[in-house]
């Protein structure tokens, strides 16, 4: 099913309901009204969209789909809707004859959509009741390794994961946001051995994360030339798992420092988590994991060491795969801790699906994780309705071990300065009247963070980035496509218009839309209908993003919405002496709903809509 113009507005919902209602009255199958309506409504959300016609928005239904569920002929389908529903103005076959296009009355459609926006405001676009289709989804994202500064590599998982959580929640699902910190394992042995050799308390007090990151890089370089350093890191890791008090005290100190600093950055990015977890919570449950897999006959043990491996037959290729679960010295591994974490999450939260937002280079690990979970708990659902692993393109050339990173705080500071310079430029479009320096800096910071998020989510998450050296890379952030400034400027301009006391207009959701519909459509006269059609599509696009586990569709939606707002704004002035009061109220209502929809869409990406830019 295809909704030519929107699944989320009141007009679209009512049109679907009317079609379902009329079909049910003549339906030859035993399908109940509510079941049929739900099928029509939800299938509608997950298909390719087409543009509306110039005269009428339309709902396009796959005729075979309707014939199958109603047991009606194509002729019966056409006659049912034509006879019963006055909101459906016409019906026409698709280009290839596969679809039936139900053309909605444009005035009633616009009226219902705008009324729905006014009624629901901040909730507009969000699904109210999914019923049996509602899922509880746990999303594991961001997950930095502690004692390392937050860099641009962490940004991708953080903003993609946050936007996906927003989409799932808006689509009516329950969401648990988890930050699973890399706070255990070999890398921490490397850090502690490095701190023994290169650590400095004064530097730690001055800038803890910067000093710990420097120590980690130096330790990795040293290990390439000094085998004893590698051995020492392994020894410390083993002491940690054995509960050595001295090393656990250092570990806890560095962990607390890291979380405190990370929370400051998450606050700047506008990202929140329901739960902070860590690998350290699960290393002591490795034996339970290994015992469970041994019961399934999937374990191989070494005769000469404590090495433990699991094996399974790949469901797709049929090939045997081996996965190491325990190292030769008896310490746990990432995969073992992840298995224990997944089992505990299933028990604790009662989730229907797990989703990990990770770099593409980790996909192999999560394929092994899912297959082993299916062996351990074959009756459980681990990825119902979403991708178990939502991978994203890596930043090529970036390496924390070699120190090839650009720190997120430096990127934000640099972009904030650039935004501030633009605001203070003599030819600026920005509103700075009555604005002190502190407020200007805050606006610049909001724009900088908005720009980082908006540009990262502009395209398919699978696409990689190329890492560039230092200053060149800083400059590239300013020049990246998908600039958020015009989007924020559009919202701020609508705020200025709607909050102008000179207009002396009030919001009237019941004002007639007749004044915004032309009997002789032109490229300009159809703009209000096109804008309302785009407004109505928000819920549909949200479900499209959920279906694909991609948030770039919201970015594309915003770009189209802003373009239509701009064109309509230029051609349909709200205040004009030649207009009647009713005409001005209709235009005021249109732009109010456009602003609300733009704000709601930005919030889905984790971007606050600005009232002043």
Could you give the 3-state DSSP secondary structure of residue 298? coil
3 backbone dihedrals φ, ψ, rounded to 5°: -100, 110
Q: Please tell me the distance from the alpha carbon of residue 106 to that of residue 97, in angstroms, as a whole number.
A: 24
190 backbone dihedrals φ, ψ, rounded to 5°: -65, -45
* Sequence-ordered list of residues with C-beta below 8 angstroms from that of 468, at least 6 positions apart, any chain: 397, 476
Q: Please tell me the distance from the alpha carbon of residue 318 to that of residue 305, in angstroms, as a whole number.
A: 29
Which of 441, 446, 450, 438 minimizes the C-alpha distance to 477?
450
**Residue 290 near residue 327 (C-beta atoms within 8 A):** no
Which of 141, 146, 217 minimizes the C-alpha distance to 400?
217
The pLDDT of residue 48 is 38
Q: Please tell me the distance from the alpha carbon of residue 175 to that of residue 135, in angstroms, as a whole number.
A: 8
What tokens does 363 get?
A: 């996909």
Could you give the 3-state DSSP secondary structure of residue 299? strand
The pLDDT of residue 469 is 42
Which of 484, 417, 406 minimizes the C-alpha distance to 155?
406
The pLDDT of residue 523 is 80
What tokens does 60 get?
A: 């396009």
Q: What is the pTM of this model?
A: 0.88
Residue 590: CA atoms inside 13 Å, Cβ hemisphere, count?
Answer: 32
The pLDDT of residue 517 is 84
- What order do you get walking across the sheet with 353-359 strand by strand? 275-278, 174-181, 136-140, 353-359, 389-392
What tokens does 542 get?
A: 């949200």
The CA distances from residue 305 to 259, 298, 324, 334, in Å, are: 36, 18, 13, 19
Q: Please tell me the distance from the alpha carbon of residue 185 to that of residue 236, in angstroms, as a whole number.
A: 10
What size, in residues, is the chain? 613
Q: Please tell me the distance from the alpha carbon of residue 542 to that of residue 170, in angstroms, as a whole number.
A: 7
The pLDDT of residue 522 is 80
Could you give the 3-state DSSP secondary structure of residue 354? strand
The pLDDT of residue 170 is 96
Q: Please tell me the distance from the alpha carbon of residue 490 to that of residue 495, in angstroms, as a whole number.
A: 9
Q: Please tell me the distance from the alpha carbon of residue 246 to that of residue 127, in angstroms, as a whole number.
A: 52
What tokens does 101 get?
A: 């296009």
The pLDDT of residue 54 is 54
Residue 581, burial from CB neighbour count under 10 angstroms (0-12, 13-18, 19+):
exposed
Mean pLDDT by 10 residues, the chain (613 residues): 41 61 66 64 44 61 74 74 61 69 82 94 88 90 89 89 97 96 89 92 91 90 88 90 92 92 95 94 93 93 90 87 92 94 96 96 95 92 92 73 71 87 70 77 93 90 64 47 85 93 86 84 87 92 92 96 96 90 95 98 98 88
**Residue 2 near residue 48 (C-beta atoms within 8 A):** yes
247 backbone dihedrals φ, ψ, rounded to 5°: -70, -35
Beta bridge partners of 177: 139
Q: Please tell me the distance from the alpha carbon of residue 558 to that of residue 324, in angstroms, as a whole number.
A: 46
């Amino acid at each position: 099913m295809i909704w030519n113009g929107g699944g989320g507005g009141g007009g679209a919902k009512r049109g679907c309901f009317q079609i379902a209602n009329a079909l049910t009255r003549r339906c030859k199958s035993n399908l109940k009204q509510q079941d049929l309506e739900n099928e029509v409504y939800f299938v509608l959300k997950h298909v390719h969209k087409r543009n509306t016609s110039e005269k009428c928005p339309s709902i396009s239904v796959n005729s075979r789909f309707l014939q199958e569920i109603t047991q009606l002929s194509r002729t019966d389908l056409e006659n049912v809707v034509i006879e019963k529903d006055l909101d459906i103005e016409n019906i026409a076959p698709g280009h290839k004859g596969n679809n039936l296009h139900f053309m909605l009355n444009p005035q009633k459609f616009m009226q219902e959509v705008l009324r729905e926006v006014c009624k629901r405001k901040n909730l507009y676009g969000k699904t109210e009741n999914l019923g049996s289709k509602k899922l509880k989804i746990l999303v594991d994202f961001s997950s930095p390794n502690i004692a390392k500064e937050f860099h641009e590599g962490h940004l991708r998982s953080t903003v993609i994961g946050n936007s996906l959580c927003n989409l799932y929640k808006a689509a009516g699902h329950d969401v648990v946001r988890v930050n699973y910190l890399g706070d255990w394992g070999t890398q921490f042995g490397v850090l502690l051995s490095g701190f023994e050799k290169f650590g400095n308390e004064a530097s730690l007090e001055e800038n803890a994360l910067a000093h710990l990151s420097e120590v980690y890089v130096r330790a990795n370089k040293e290990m390439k030339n000094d085998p004893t350093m590698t051995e020492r890191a392994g020894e410390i890791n083993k002491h940690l798992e054995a509960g050595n008090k001295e090393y656990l005290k250092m570990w806890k100190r560095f962990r607390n420092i890291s979380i405190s600093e990370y929370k400051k950055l998450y606050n700047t990015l506008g990202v929140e988590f329901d739960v902070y977890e860590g690998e350290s919570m699960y290393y002591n449950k490795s034996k339970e994991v290994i015992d469970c897999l041994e019961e399934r006959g999937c374990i191989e043990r070494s005769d000469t060491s404590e090495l433990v491996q699991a094996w399974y037959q790949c469901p797709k290729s049929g090939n045997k795969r081996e996965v190491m679960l325990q190292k030769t010295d008896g310490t746990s591994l990432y995969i073992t801790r992840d298995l224990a974490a997944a089992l505990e999450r299933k028990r604790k939260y009662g989730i229907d699906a797990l989703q990990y937002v990770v770099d593409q280079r980790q996909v192999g690990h999560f394929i092994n994780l899912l297959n082993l979970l299916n062996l351990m708990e074959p009756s459980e659902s681990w990825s119902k309705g979403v991708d178990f692993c939502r991978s994203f393109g890596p930043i090529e050339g970036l390496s924390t071990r070699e120190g090839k990173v650009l720190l997120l705080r430096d990127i934000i500071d640099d972009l904030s300065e650039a935004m501030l310079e633009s605001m203070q430029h003599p030819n600026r479009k920005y509103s700075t009247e009555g604005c002190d320096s502190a407020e200007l800096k805050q606006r610049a910071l909001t724009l900088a963070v908005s720009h980082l998020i908006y540009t990262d989510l502009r395209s398919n998450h699978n696409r990689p980035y190329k890492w560039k050296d230092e200053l060149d890379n800083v400059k590239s952030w300013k020049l990246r496509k998908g600039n958020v400034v015009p989007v924020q400027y559009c919202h701020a301009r609508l705020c200025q218009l709607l909050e102008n006391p000179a207009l002396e207009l009030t919001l009237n959701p019941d004002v007639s839309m007749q004044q915004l519909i032309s009997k002789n459509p032109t490229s300009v006269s159809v703009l209000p209908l096109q804008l309302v059609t785009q407004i109505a599509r928000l819920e549909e696009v949200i479900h499209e993003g959920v279906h694909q586990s991609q948030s770039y569709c919201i970015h594309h939606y915003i770009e189209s919405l802003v373009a239509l707002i701009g064109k309509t704004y230029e051609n349909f002035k709200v205040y004009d002496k030649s207009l009647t009061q009713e005409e001005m109220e209709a235009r005021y209502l249109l732009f109010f709903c456009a602003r609300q929809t733009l704000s709601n869409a930005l919030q889905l990406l984790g971007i606050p809509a600005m009232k002043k830019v």
